[in-house]
Amino acid sequence: MNSNLIYGKHVVFELLKKHQNMVKEIWVKDLKILNEFDLKKTKIKVNVVSENKLDQLLETQTQHQGIIAQIKDFNYTPFNELISDLNKKEKSLVLILDQIHDSYNFGAIIRSCSLLNVDGIIILDKKQVQVNSTVLKTSSGSAFDIKICKTNNLNNAIKILKNNNFWIYATNLNQNSTDMTKIDFANKTAVIIGNEQKGVSELLTKNSDFNIYVPSNKNIDSFNASVACSIICFWIANYLNKLS
């Protein structure tokens, strides 16, 4: 499937409402689906096609709800632009993802970060799932509402954040970890969420200021990456009064 194809009424409608300039072409089974949008004055090409054609476009048996859209390539925010933006704010919360591989996890993380007023997400340019159609659908299009940066070296990114007054908190469950509810988070906070299987790498852990964990009843080993991210980001965003 073309990685620039998204589908389903909710995610396509969200893009048409908030980021119409990112949509290149639309395929619909019935034009009535687009009744609430005036696309005549836009450069978006609209095609009325059969259900079979929609199925062929996706190349998989997927519930497209009668609408598919092709979007432009996702524009990542340059890292130096994010740093410049963060320096203008008294309080900032940044998320660093250490090799998240699952598109659904990444999309859910982006959606939570957008809802919780996280200022930016930093990912690796390889060994990490990128913003693709599954990520966009899972995030309900909110990937376009938050700054997402790529870097070839997360450790260097951490050093730059530290040089710009950030404190780094790695999510780890080890003997050096502190319950996140016991932490006085800095006004400039960056949180590292680790890989679904391996967690945060040893090097990033070593160069972090604190190890933190989400308290639980410990009947299971750990939270899913996207769930942990949501809990931690909510706690810190609320602590920094970013939700009011």
Q: Which helix or strand (DSSP H or E) is residue 62 part of?
A: none
Residue 60 to residue 134: CA distance in whole angstroms: 13
Supply the pLDDT for residue 3: 67
Specify which residues 124 forms β-bridges with: 151
Furthest CA-CA distance within the chain: 61
> Percent of the chain having pLDDT more than 90?
68
Strands, sheet with 178-179, edge to edge from the N-terminal-most edge strand: 148-151, 120-124, 92-97, 188-193, 167-171, 210-213, 178-179
- Domain range 5-71, CATH architecture: 2-Layer Sandwich (3.30)
Instruction: Read off the pLDDT of each residue in 53-61 and give the average, rounded to a whole number.
Output: 84
pLDDT band at 216 (very low <50, low <70, confident <90, very high): confident
pLDDT band at 2 (very low <50, low <70, confident <90, very high): low
pLDDT band at 176 (very low <50, low <70, confident <90, very high): confident
CATH T-level assignment (fold) for domain 79-239:
Alpha/beta knot (3.40.1280)
Q: What b-and-e string marks burial along 132-164, b requiring 16 or more CB atoms within 10 Å of the CB?
A: bbbbbbbbbbbbbbbbbbbbeebeebbeebbee
Supply the pLDDT for residue 29: 94
Upper half-sphere CA count for residue 151 (Cβ side, 13 Å): 21
CA nearest neighbour of 173 among 219, 209, 218, 118: 218
Q: Where are the domains of the chain?
A: 5-71, 79-239
SS3 content of the chain, % helix, strand, coil (to 5): 35, 20, 40
Q: Which helix or strand (DSSP H or E) is residue 131 part of?
A: none
Q: Please say if the pLDDT value at position 165 is more than 90.
A: yes
235: CB partners within 8 A, 6+ apart? 180, 181
